[in-house]
Structure 1
């Protein structure tokens, strides 16, 4: 008996980026990677989940507000911030950039996304 396997791309790409670095160069690289993926895969479903001190990159009037707003509004990226980390950094949810979704746990969100077939990327 022979077993034949074939793989073909079905549907669209689903990717979850794990954002946990706050160093400026690392954040810039991560945001560029997200934008480049969108440009290469216009139909992809892309989520970017921040936790630890990286939630501070999602702060209104912060260094990355313009780039994150562009990713949300122009490139349809689902930007998410961990509620535990928001509390741990003494931020308030109202301090977040408009369009950033708060999830109870960033790690749990990443696990759920992977369970739904999302690929995991940690830039």
Structure 2
């Protein structure tokens, strides 16, 4: 199984919940989870910023093979640069399109 976690909110509790969901999926002992992805957009972009509160959690997920993507449209709207994002976070043109693409590839959708 494959799962995408979609983080849109600026609420820190929701961001932490999204990251915890990803961690729990990785630690599933049934070995039924093959891939975990996270897509951030809108206010959820704070989750992957270099100056954010979730740096350690995101870096650990990246190290464990989670694909983390950030919406380029959001970066532009918020006047941010790719350099404002943690190393290893990929940018995609549109977060919603990326989520849709992943769902089309069979990823289950979760949103905290």
TM-score (norm 1): 0.84
Contact 2:6 2:18 in 1 (8 A): no
Partner deviation per Cα, 1:66-117 (whole Å, 9 max, x = no partner): 11001101x2111110000111111111111000010000000011111111
**Shift of residue 56 of structure 1?**
2.0
- 1:102 and 2:91 are equivalent in the alignment: yes
Aligned positions, number: 110
How far apart in 2 are the matches of 1:119 and 1:93?
27
- 1:69 and 2:59 are equivalent in the alignment: yes
TM-score (norm 2): 0.92
**Shift of residue 121 of structure 1?**
0.7
Aligned equivalent of 2:72, options 65, 76, 83: 83
Alignment gaps of 5+ in structure 1: 1-12
Structure with bigger RCO (C-alpha 8 Å, 6+ apart): 2
**Shift of residue 22 of structure 1?**
1.6
Instruction: Look up the match of 1:4.
Output: none
Partner deviation per Cα, 1:4-24 (whole Å, 9 max, x = no partner): xxxxxxxxx111111101211
Contact 2:71 2:93 in 1 (8 A): yes
- 1:22 and 2:10 are equivalent in the alignment: yes
Alignment gaps of 5+ in structure 2: none
SS at match of 2:51: coil
